[in-house]
């Protein structure tokens, strides 16, 4: 590789989101060990000092900050203009983006502005013996893996959530350097974003970053029974999701829907409770590391993709499972 690797760090409530730290780990894997190809982390916003210090311990060779309130509310046109200008200035060859809604919005814009190739949904990345970049991404609803060879001189890479481990603190700190806001050029008329409200479970992490997801379907028979899932998710430190049948019925907000017309997730553990497993749902969770299904119907399609299955009454199984998790974890 002949130029730096750029990792865009997204912040939420002043702290780096987990997916951005995963992108930092992927960038380090792509660049090689420290002292070879440099990995540069970029943070944008008016209050980034604390987050920059946190990122500086996570494998970057350099952390750049642009302190500018125009980046506090995410607007893809503004962000892509700034990132493109910096990438050109610094001779960057690859830009890595977290597997978040914001990251997915930026991939196409950056590639078009920068004249770069783009690959999305990446679950693994490496350099071939002849120096080409190789990206692996799930296709056909996770039923196959596609290896993409990138021979372009520069590329924008959109990562799959939970595909790369976030780097642990290294004990040494990369230098944190302030950079002036680059010339953004002519931008379209922009609205004013006063804030964001994240739809999530009653407690626990956001679905896009959760390593454990407990998801419920129509088999729960009513919204009041999602309390059992909230308790199980809390005992595991996870989030609660839902099938389309649940959100269409108004039992849970649409933002928690997992599936083809909802959100795509890749947690370490996915527990499907009372979900039959229609293909529209499987598309959104098939790449989960471990899938556990609880359903009273032994012929439910969900069992065909599950690593572990329990056939029985979820109203007896879920409370018992929660109780056992709490006992084992001492909570």
Question: What's the confidence (pLDDT) of residue 242?
Answer: 95
C-alpha atoms less than 13 angstroms from C-alpha of 120 in its C-beta half-sphere = 12
Could you tell me the two tokens for 13?
A: 């409530």
pLDDT in tens, 155-210: 999 998 888 888 888 878 899 999 999 887 766 655 555 555 555 454 568 887 88
| Domain identity same for 159 and 248 | no
| Domain identity same for 232 and 135 | no
Q: Say how far apart CA 148 and CA 97 lie, in whole Å.
A: 17
Lowest mean pLDDT among 22-36, 50-64, 268-282: 22-36
Strand locations in 22-175 (E): 39-45, 62-67, 94-97, 117-122, 124-127, 133-139, 144-150, 155-159
Q: How many other C-beta atoms lie within 10 A of the C-beta of residue 329?
A: 10
Query: For tokens 């969900």, what's the residue?
Result: 302
Could you tell me the two tokens for 51?
A: 């987050």
Question: What's the confidence (pLDDT) of residue 314?
Answer: 96
Question: What's the confidence (pLDDT) of residue 317?
Answer: 97
Question: What's the confidence (pLDDT) of residue 98?
Answer: 92
Lowest mean pLDDT among 147-161, 164-178, 293-307: 164-178
pLDDT in tens, 46-60: 989 999 999 999 989
| Domain identity same for 245 and 151 | no
| Domain identity same for 41 and 169 | yes
In the chain, % of residues over pLDDT 70: 94
Q: Is 24 helix (H, G, I), strand (E, B) or coil?
A: helix
Residue 70 lies in a domain: yes
Lowest mean pLDDT among 34-38, 71-75, 136-140, 304-308: 34-38
234 lies in which domain range? 212-329
Question: What's the confidence (pLDDT) of residue 213?
Answer: 96
Question: What's the confidence (pLDDT) of residue 194?
Answer: 59
* Angle between helix 101-114 and helix 76-90 axes, rounded to 10 deg: 50
pLDDT in tens, 210-240: 899 999 999 999 999 999 999 999 999 999 9
Residue 197 lies in a domain: no
Residue 198 lies in a domain: no
| Residue 320, Cβ density class (10 Å: 0-12 exposed, 13-18 middle, ≥19 buried) | exposed
Residue 204 lies in a domain: no
Number of structural domains (the chain) is 2
With 90 as the cut, is the pLDDT of residue 129 above it? no
H helical segments located in 171-273:
226-236, 244-248
Provide the mean pLDDT of the chain: 89
pLDDT in tens, 93-126: 999 999 888 999 999 999 999 999 999 999 999 9
Q: Say how far apart CA 38 and CA 75 lie, in whole Å.
A: 28
Question: What's the confidence (pLDDT) of residue 223?
Answer: 94
Q: Say how far apart CA 169 and CA 135 lie, in whole Å.
A: 26
Question: What's the confidence (pLDDT) of residue 161?
Answer: 84
CATH number of 112's domain: 3.40.50.620
């Amino acid at each position: 590789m002949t130029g730096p690797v750029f990792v865009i760090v997204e912040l939420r409530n002043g702290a780096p989101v987990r997916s951005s730290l995963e992108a930092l780990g992927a960038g380090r894997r792509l660049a090689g060990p420290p002292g070879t190809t440099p990995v540069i982390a970029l943070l944008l916003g008016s209050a980034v000092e604390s987050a920059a210090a946190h990122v500086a311990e996570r494998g970057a060779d350099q952390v750049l900050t642009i302190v500018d309130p125009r980046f506090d509310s995410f607007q893809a046109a503004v962000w892509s203009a700034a990132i493109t200008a910096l990438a050109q200035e610094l001779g960057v060859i690859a830009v890595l983006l977290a597997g978040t809604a914001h990251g997915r919005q930026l991939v196409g814009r950056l590639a078009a502005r920068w004249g770069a190739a783009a690959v999305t949904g990446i679950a693994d990345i490496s350099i071939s013996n002849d120096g080409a970049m190789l990206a692996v991404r799930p296709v056909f609803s996770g039923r196959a893996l596609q290896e993409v060879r990138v021979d372009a001189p520069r590329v924008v890479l959109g990562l799959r959530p939970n595909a790369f481990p976030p780097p642990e603190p290294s004990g040494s700190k990369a230098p944190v350097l302030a950079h002036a806001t680059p010339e953004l050029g002519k931008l379209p008329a922009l609205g004013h974003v006063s804030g964001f409200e994240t739809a999530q479970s009653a407690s626990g992490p956001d679905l896009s970053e959760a390593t454990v997801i407990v998801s419920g379907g129509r088999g729960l028979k009513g919204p009041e029974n999602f309390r059992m899932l909230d308790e199980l998710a809390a005992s595991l430190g996870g989030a609660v999701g839902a099938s389309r049948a649940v959100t269409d019925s108004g039992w849970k907000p649409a933002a928690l829907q997992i599936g083809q017309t909802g959100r795509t997730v890749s947690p370490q553990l996915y527990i499907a409770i009372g979900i039959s497993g229609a293909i529209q749902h499987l598309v959104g969770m098939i790449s989960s590391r471990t899938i556990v299904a609880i359903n009273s119907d032994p012929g439910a399609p969900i069992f065909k993709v599950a690593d572990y299955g329990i056939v029985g009454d979820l109203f007896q199984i879920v409370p018992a499972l929660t109780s056992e998790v709490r006992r084992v974890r001492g909570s």
